[in-house]
Amino acid sequence: LAQRMLSIARDIARHRPLAALLQEVIPPALELLSSDKVLGSAYEVVVPQNPPLPYYVAILLDKKRLRRLGEPQTLPFSSSQMGRQLLAVTVELVGGDAGPLLLATAHLESTKDHATERKRQLLQSLRHLRQAVCKTPRAVSAALLGGDLNIRDEEVKAVHKDLGDEAHGFADLWSFCGAPEAERWTWDTTQNSNVGANFACKTRFDRILFISPGVSDAPGVAGLAAAKAKAKAKASPHATHATATSSGEGWRPRSIRLLGKEKVAGLGRFPSDHWGLLTEWTCGSSAPASAPEKAAKPALGFANLNSSGAVIDLDA
């Protein structure tokens, strides 16, 4: 446990994202991460109210660069059979000109048999994001949901249909960033040996979905249900940056990459059976850069990490 969690902590310390969204966290792991000698001196740890056991979700917030606005929100999924919930917190950049951002994470109901409940949970989560962005006066300028969503493309399409007009403006970050094939599969038994599977399975369980007015709803940006079709049409092993042509201001994803693909030294296993996601964003009035070295402003990072490699993973 300690070796794997320290490997995840090293990834976070190396990339220094503004926030890290964690799933399947257990108390000993969180205690280790929040130690001042590990990440506690740099990150505030946000957990659900009355977190369920054996594991739950958590959000790490950069203490110097982010300011938390109000108390975190915990939205239990009332019909969950696995104690799942949505954890959300509103933040703003210290000294930045971007508006407030709602960060949310969830570990949606696991296994194929629980598709109905999982779709219900995703629907509830996306509606929570939309309500935050559409409040008058607007409470936040953008909102994102990142986590081990356990979701399949056909389930996303069904949720998109159920949302109706409420689906407008939502985008899948991986698709928005050009659907890079090399960064597609977050649970891959052909590359990750932690599960010890004797079968080949590649899925995109871990996703980041977002709504950012002027960015995610711009002409030419694919919506949630179009993610699979866009991936087939535009996937490229070298595509890592946003291809949308919109010039709206606001929170804008710029790139996405997989994390945790190196085995822990001396252990012979990966930090988790899921790959993590690291994303770069620009915000405010700066135009998005086509490459990091040409950025008008430094890129802002968010990480999504599943620590299930340190515990028994029900998703397996």
The string of pLDDT tens digits covering residues 53-72 is 889 999 999 999 999 999 99
Catalytic residue among 62, 97, 113, 148: 148
The pLDDT, as a whole number, for residue 233 is: 39
pLDDT in tens, 170-189: 999 999 999 999 999 999 99
Active site residue 162: no
pLDDT for residue 287 is more than 80: no
- Look at residue 242 in the predicted model and tell me its pLDDT: 33
| Partners of residue 141 on adjacent β-strands | none
Mean of pLDDT over the chain: 86
pTM across the whole model: 0.88
Average pLDDT over residues 223-227: 76
